[in-house]
Chains A and B, each alone.
Chain A
Amino acid sequence: MIRFAWLQFRMQAAVAAGALAIVAVVLALTGPNLVHLYDTTVASCAVHHDCPTATTDFTDTDGPLQVFLDFLLLTVPLLIGMFWGAPLISREFETGTFRLAWTQGVTRTRWLAVKLGLGAVASAAIAGLLSLMVSWWSSQLDYVSANPFDSLRFGIRDVVPIGYAAFAFALGLSAGLLFRRMLPAMLVALVGFVAAREAVTAWVRPHLFTPLQQSLPITTATPVSIDQTSPGVIKAFENTRGISLPGAWVYSVQIVDQAGHTPTTSFLSGACHLGNYGPLNPRDCTARLAATFHQLVTYQPGGRYWPMQWYELAIFLSGSIVLAGFCFWWIRRPVI
């Protein structure tokens, strides 16, 4: 059965491997230059006192390629779900070939096990290799420019894309088995995967670990902005620029006093003279505020990046296993 599955899959596998090889060549050609550039500009910028310029110049290097790679990593799981997963069984139904395939000397369960196994492993391998290559290529860029917890970046680096690809494949396959039509299955793979990925990003990832909290003093170096949000209501807004927690994922920064209360409108209007564009004297205003209030930071420390990557991978792999279980149960049902 494995040989037969390979017979049918090898064209798709060849296309994917070819595309991966092209990306690998491009990255291998441009990668060393990035490393060289980093070593000669950013790494030594402190000496020349031109770090902001050097950093900006460096992060702009190979801009279109960076955008393309991000796009590629975002779409590869989708493509796998839509073009590998969804047609796998639905095409058999649409063309009637399931009557040929499932009446050979191999049970339907075994047929599915091999098809699903091969496809899932190939999907995970493609996404994993691509992510590995891009993570290597952009390691200096990532180090300089983006927070590792950035909601876009987190999903297109390291091990998480493996889970996405396996899940998208299993989702497309399940939808194809359920609907027996390719187009609805592709649509479900597309919408379902995007929804699952967004839901996990928005509602699951932030709650995997209980965030830590840290109090930081308000300093005049980073003035707080005060604004009238609605008639008669004045609020103070934190300024996250002044917070130095390297590699951390900052959930929120609140301005509170010892008891945990936020500054009231009457306090702020007394402490700060508000003009049309905020406090007339930001420095004084901030200093008065700092006497009673501090900034409370809620965050995930940088050290939790890898545990969270593995957790999210496990979530999507578990989802894939549940979908696979559904397929094995469903395929034993009678066929029309």
Chain B
Amino acid sequence: MTVVIQTNGLGKRYGRQWALRDCTLGIPEGKVVGLVGPNGAGKTTLLNLAVGLLAPTCGAITVLGGPPSDGPAQLEKVGFVAQDTPAYAGLSVGKHLLMGSYLNANWNQELAKDRIDQLGLDPRQKAGSLSGGQRAQLALTMAIAKQPALLLLDEPVASLDPLARREFLQGLMEIVAEHAVSVVLSSHLIADLERVCDYLVLLVASHVQLAGEVTALLATHQRLSGPRRDPRSLPSSHEIIEESHTGKQSTFLVRTDQPILDPAWTVKPVTLDELVLAYMGRARNPSPGRRSGLGVAP
């Protein structure tokens, strides 16, 4: 598996506060990767490290095989849509495209212009008077017109209304279909990612809790419900991610490659949303039950 981003023990500290700590991950090439995690998990820090806006306190990060922001060649390979999609309020949309063409050697002005036309944006309009959705589209246009090998988007839809959010993600999907570009998209809104991402990386407190193809993740996780059971009585091939018990009933979210054969269980597929929440919950308060569940079978 070729990776576009590889980190090893990566850490970033502000004063005494770690924004990202001991992060080791590999993001595969040619995917639309959803980088998910609660606020403060280190998503933005990780992406800023990947474009070289930040320098790591410790550990290492390579992007497309090179250190981030090491010279113009590396900068050109990575398209970046920053959080809150900043733009120069006093410059028009057209001037922003001009800026892109001045600053990037591989800039595709035709692509940029076509996209602005398609979006129905007036090139003479000042960026300061654009709506949040339009500004995000402008930022995406600039990031893609430099024809990068890797496109990084930091919470691009977080501040958009549902319609603008959908249009933005629609645009992103079109781009992915037309261009051979790897995409990493961070968000805390899983429902949005579900539509566009084929690979998921869940980051909680700097650590990768879950990473894999979305289809594979959904196929290997099941929700089991049935009569109350001791978690330790589950087969060792079932990794318990989440469990809840009432007086008579037990519900488990388990990860397993094996088919569920026990007829006592009602088996339901999980949604990506449920899956992510379960892993987040597990990372926050690892329960003793899970530990014993992972231990030797009785």
Contacts and interface: CB of A to CB of B under 8 A. Distances in A.
Is chain B's binding surface mostly helix, strand, loop or mixed? Answer: loop
Is chain A's binding surface mostly helix, strand, loop or mixed? Answer: loop
B86 A103 contact: no
B180 interface: no
A99 B154 CA distance: 11
B69 interface: yes
A8 B90 CA distance: 9
Interface string A1-27: 101100110010000000000000000
Given A104-B146, A105-B146, A333 B99 contact: no
Interface in B54-112: 54-55, 69, 71-72, 75-76, 78, 80, 82-84, 86-91, 95, 98-100, 102-106
A16 B29 CA distance: 51
A7 B91 contact: yes
Given A97-B88, A99-B80, A99-B82, A107 B75 contact: yes
Contacts of A333: 55
Contacts of B78: 103
Contacts of B102: 1, 3-4, 7
Given A106-B75, A333-B55, A335-B53, A100 B142 contact: yes
A95 interface: yes
Interface residues of A, number: 24
Interface of A: 1, 3-4, 7-8, 11, 95-100, 102-108, 110, 333-336
B183 interface: no
A96 B54 contact: no
Contacts of A7: 91, 95, 98-99, 102
A254 B212 CA distance: 90
Nearest to A2: B102
B139 interface: yes
Contacts of B82: 96, 99-100, 103
B157 interface: no
A336 B84 CA distance: 15
B99 A95 contact: no
